[in-house]
Amino acid sequence: MSIATAVKDLSATFTGQLLQPADAGYDEARRVHNGLIDRRPALVACCRGTADVADAVKLARSLKLGIAVRGGGHNVAGRAAIDNGVMIDLAPMRGIHVDPRARTARAQGGVRWNEFNRETQLHALATTGGVVGSTGIAGLTLGGGLGWLMPRYGLALDNLKSAELVMADGSVKRASAEENADLFWAIRGGGSNFGIAASLEYELHPVGPIITGGLVAHPQAKGVEVLKFFRDQCAKLPDEAMMAAGLLTAPDGVMKIVGMLLAHCGAMADGEALARPIKALGPPAMDVMGPIPYCAQNQLLDAAFPKGALNYWKAQFLKDLTDDVIRTLVECAAAAPSPMSQIVLEHFHGRASRIGVSETACAMRLSGYNVVIASQWMNPADTERGTKWCRDTYKALQPHFGTTRYVNYLADDETDNPAIAAAYGPNYARLRELKSKFDPDNVFRTNVNIAPK
């Protein structure tokens, strides 16, 4: 059967859109956040509900076409896009239902974190979610889910109560601690290897609507001093607080700065006390730290990661943030060829780090620092320079790296076994066994792939 015939037959019941290359809206539908990714699927299935997702999976399998799944489309490696396959687009699936009494929320797979936070914050509730508002909830959660609340409440996947999954054969399963428990274990860290998350149910916690947060920044000439101070502050953070640091260019596009970001979700007086020494270091070049809406905290970085910018990233956990690492970071940041590029240090501690490695499929259960080298530029002519700086910076830091890597940060050219094994850690063998059970034909392989045994 041809694609055209299959699409015509399915159109009678499909409630979304089925877009082929000649159709209006196809080019917009196929694009993802990273402008460096330019893939052309044979079909984009824009789904409006779980039944559409199931039918799209069955269609792709009947035509023997590969499948990619787009939630928010934010994955820098572009795994939401595919050449000559079927892109299953969850973007139209944006329903959210909050139960403030039960402190839970169920959201469809196309929801983004800024939308999710807006609904939950009506009730002064939240769960750990992405630090860039336009990131999709599904991909972030299934791969781990970093966010400002993770020291207090764990990763996004630690707050997942259940998920409705479309499986590789087009059937639908509910995964939770009580139902399909092995599948539930696997999806919490195993990414999109086991099914398509049509909807996700989260546990919510009292947060905000105002917290203590924001940014304090200094000239990059003071970078060594500031990062040593940052290290000292991180060593004594309570669970209620998360800090990150960034070496980047100021909004004027000229001044290179090193910034410290804070989010404190506990009592305001405690947050103000924690922020006081951070604000006192200086004088800073920029100080926007203090009381801030939780929703605004989660959109602080949005402007720094615009849709359509060309991106190439590499990331890995450090053994420790030593003086040598700090000096290397400052030197490499000074050499960044684009004012859009940055190096980010994410500090891990608290509940996200205390949960046992075997309790979920996520192996990222450690205290310390994850370094993200985020190279960005707008002109395609700068692609070689942009990727080279990222790779050179990664190489300079390599002697200081530990073994752990974050699934959602792996680049599209990091699909070798050592990188995959580092991402899934000691859970890799069990994940392969479960892959053989739930997706023996490796239908869901446009991801950080777990090969069936």
Helix (H) or strand (E) segment spanning residue 69:
strand 67-70
Query: Residue 163: beta bridge partners?
Result: 175, 200
Q: Could you identify the residue written with the tokens 């699936």?
A: 93
Q: Could you identify the residue written with the tokens 């924690």?
A: 274
pLDDT of residue 418: 82
Q: What is the mean pLDDT of residues 427-451?
A: 96
Whether the pLDDT of residue 359 is over 90: the answer is: yes
DSSP 8-state assignment for residue 307? T
CATH class of the domain at 210-409: alpha beta
CA angle 44, 47, 50 (to 5 degrees): 135
Query: Residue 71: beta bridge partners?
Result: none
DSSP 73-94: ---TT-TT--SSSEEEE-TT--
pLDDT of residue 449: 93
Every domain range in the chain assigned CATH 3.40.462.20: 210-409
Mean pLDDT taken over the chain: 96
**In the chain, what percentage of residues exceed pLDDT 90?**
94
pLDDT of residue 251: 87
Every domain range in the chain assigned CATH 3.30.43.10: 3-89
State phi, psi for 143 to the nearest 5 degrees. -90, -10
Q: What kind of fold does domain 96-207 have according to CATH?
A: 3.30.465
CA distances 376 to 56, 115, 139, 338, 379, Å, are 33, 25, 21, 7, 10
DSSP 21-37: TTSTTHHHHH--S-TT-
pLDDT by residue (tens digit) across 275-310? 999 999 989 999 999 999 999 999 999 999 999 999
d(CA 335, CA 411): 21
Stronger pLDDT, 443 or 411, i.e. the higher one: 443
Q: Are 350 and 385 in contact (CB under 8 A)?
A: no
Nearest to 168 by CA among 40, 284, 54: 54
Nearest to 23 by CA among 52, 1, 3, 49: 3
pLDDT by residue (tens digit) across 391-421? 999 999 999 999 999 999 998 888 777 888 8
pLDDT by residue (tens digit) across 211-252? 999 999 999 999 999 999 999 999 999 999 999 999 999 988
Q: Could you identify the residue written with the tokens 């103000």?
A: 272
Every domain range in the chain assigned CATH 3.30.465.10: 96-207
Q: Are 427 and 189 in contact (CB under 8 A)?
A: yes
CATH class of the domain at 3-89: alpha beta
**Which pTM does this prediction carry?**
0.95
